[in-house]
Amino acid sequence: MHYHGFLVINKPPGLTSHQVVAELRKILSMKRIGHTGTLDPAATGTLVVALGIGTKLIPYLQEEKKTYLAQLVLGITTDTQDITGEVIAVHPETRVGRAQLAQALQKFTGPLEQIPPMFSAVKLNGQPLYKLAREGKTVPRKTRAIYIHDLQIQGRSVDYYKYKKGPELLVVCSKGTYIRTLCHDLGEYLGCGACMGSLVRLASGTFTIKQASSLEEVTVAEQNNTIENLLVSPVQALNHLETVILNQKEEKRVSHGNSITATDCQGELGKAVTADGRLIAILKKQMTESGLYWQPVKVLSTI
């Protein structure tokens, strides 16, 4: 059976996002599967996986904000900027006061410029940086604009944080933010060095870890023919887009890529849904001399 929609997977540690997709292809016996945003192998948590026609809808998902729970390890700097890397420097005398850390977190909240780490999938001339890093090479990287919406200490606060110690940080950030780079940069700012310990992605846009299933749970659901109970449908996943319910004539026009008249549309994009609830296209609002129209920009096979 082929499925269409999205699975929210609670990624286990030790697997790459690509390996999770490979496992799902085996479990579900289908090839058309892809993830919507990479998690590092050591990280766990919310990994959104698109199935079937869902793969065509990835650009239209609302995943701009990501939420993480990250362990800040003070006094240690590594080449990968996380605890799995080779240690570059240590500061056993590290002692960071609660007020000092709070001030640093405030400094790193809002719009920031971030340099992607060498151990990352960012490409330079078509080659991932991590391949160059494994060869011991370091190359200049362009900064990228990110936004930290919220950055705060989670759990019990203490007067001082010492070597190898540090709080868990709740981070709400823009898509494309490297949390291990954030930890590294915090360490530089504090003057003691730091790296990231554990990392859990709690949410990717509207998809949350509470919705997530393990690979084992997906396997059982496939055996019991209950995968549909775990799926987020394409219509649900695009809940943030305006819904345009089509009549039979409009359905035929849209399915052939033709525009339809629009009335009182609120957003720039909409989703074309048939009377029986099937998603058949993504629409874009267009104003012409003859009026307002919805133009299909992505026509889907019948779901």
Catalytic positions are: 40
d(CA 240, CA 258): 23
Strand partners, 283: 270, 296
Q: Which residue has the tokens 């004539």?
A: 249
Rounded Cα–Cα distance for residues 98 and 278 (Å): 53
Cβ atoms of 34 and 195 within 8 Å: the answer is no
Contacts of 79 by beta carbon, 8 Å cutoff, 6+ apart: 85, 86, 88, 118, 119, 133
Other CB atoms within 10 Å distance of the CB of residue 295: 16
Rounded to an integer, what distance in angstroms lies between the CA atom of residue 86 and that of residue 79?
Answer: 6
Strand bridging mode 65-74 / 160-162: unpaired
The encoded tokens of residue 80 equal 């990968």
What is the spatial distance between Cα 48 and Cα 51, in angstroms, rounded to a whole number? 10
Closest CA to 7 of 15, 16, 23, 173: 23
In this structure, what token pair is assigned to residue 243? 């819904």
